[in-house]
Structure 1
Amino acid sequence: MDFYQFAKSVVFTALKPIYRMEVIGLENFPKEGGILLCSNHIDALDPPVVGITSPRPVNFMAKEELFKLPILKSILPSVHAFPVKRGLSDRQALRTALDLLKQGQVVGIFPEGTRNKTGTLGKGFSGAGFFALKGEANVMPCAIIGPYKPFRRLKVIYGKPIDIAPYRERRAKAEEVTEVIMASIQELLDEHYKKN
């Protein structure tokens, strides 16, 4: 067992009983090929929750500052995180994400860019559409429905992949594709909020 799988099992064992996690739609997750995994963002625990519920390893961007902390700087690369400079056009982070997608891996992002505690889905940044168009990968929408409160149910819903090929063929703009992605996440939220 590599460190990623070890960490995944430890975090899963710690979080599942506290948050009564329910995972829906795993059958929608492609077993191979590049996937851009796009989720809403409601809590700092979202990355590990997505990481432990995804059937495939997820590579997440993490703010560069975290890689300078004594313990995290050695742990983060081992759990497939890579640094990104916030507020800047970080070309190295862009290249890393695109390379991972083209290698057939899963890259996880939160298109809202920051946590949204209003209970509604915020506007997505065009970077999500950029990665979807340039990364030669399909998009997997994901919705997290809280609250993150002990012994309250937490849902993680994986929707059906969005085929980005038609948008690439007609050279759609990144902003349009981001709107399509956000609409797919919103559909998952609308469908499952009332069942929570």
Structure 2
Amino acid sequence: MLYTTVKTLVKSYYHTRFKITVVGQDRIPKTGPVIICSNHISEYDPPLVATSVEREMSFFAKSELFKIPVLGYLISRLNALPVERGKSDRAALKKSIEVLGEGNMMLVFPEGSRSKTGKLQNLQQGASFMAVKSGAQIVPTAIKGSYDRKKGVTIVFGKPIDTKALVEDGMNRKDVTLKITEDINNLLFSD
């Protein structure tokens, strides 16, 4: 209930403030474990992705935010999972695999931080690890443009990556990460 209410309010705000185009929304699986893997250009990205997808999703938020009384309570109710930034957080990975194991959706920005140049940075292997362990499909996602009323921002959802098939073909986490990188870059540079 809270998730849906907040999502509706944020979506209204975003579409009033920014020029937003969504492409490929129909490519997102309607059921089963899914990881949305997106590039990261702005602090506006997480709500943009969440409001562009029909399904409810979980996401990582830095652990310090959970210590702020009202904010910590609110983001917990909005499916945020605490993560220790700057190091491998096994507890966060374990919790995300549980969430995916229940057939839910996760939003991940595998660059680990926002890109200052707009170019895709090297991806960390956390998303690949979660996908391989849970059997989740990965939807490569590109955010292009500018959060500007005139120029506008476009979010493009790519074709889902069948992680199970890649693992059966002998690919490891590093290979899956390279596949995600390639797919996101293709979306970023396509018209």
C-alpha separation between the residues in 2 aligned to 1:119 and 1:24? 19
Q: Judge conservation of contact 1:133–1:167 (CA < 8 Å) in 2.
A: no
Runs of 4+ in structure 1 off by over 2 angstroms are 149-152, 170-173
C-alpha separation between the residues in 2 aligned to 1:69 and 1:117? 27
C-alpha separation between the residues in 2 aligned to 1:148 and 1:13? 15
Unaligned runs of 5+ in 2: none
Partner of 2:24: 25
C-alpha separation between the residues in 2 aligned to 1:186 and 1:71? 38
Superposition map of 1:145-156 within 5 A: 145-156=144-155
- Displacement of 1:171 after TM fit? 4.5
Partner of 1:189: 188
Superposition map of 1:44-55 within 5 A: 44-55=43-54
C-alpha separation between the residues in 2 aligned to 1:73 and 1:129? 28
Q: Judge conservation of contact 2:19–2:147 (CA < 8 Å) in 1.
A: no
Partner of 1:6: 5
Give the fraction of aligned pairs with identical amino acids, expressed as a percent. Answer: 37
Superposition map of 1:10-159 within 5 A: 10-159=9-158
C-alpha separation between the residues in 2 aligned to 1:170 and 1:145? 32
Normalised TM-score (structure 1): 0.93
C-alpha separation between the residues in 2 aligned to 1:139 and 1:37? 6
- Displacement of 1:167 after TM fit? 2.3
RMSD between superposed Cα atoms in Å: 1.2
Unaligned runs of 5+ in 1: none
Normalised TM-score (structure 2): 0.95
Q: Judge conservation of contact 2:66–2:82 (CA < 8 Å) in 1.
A: yes
C-alpha separation between the residues in 2 aligned to 1:179 and 1:55? 27
C-alpha separation between the residues in 1 aligned to 2:166 and 2:23? 27
| Count of aligned positions | 191
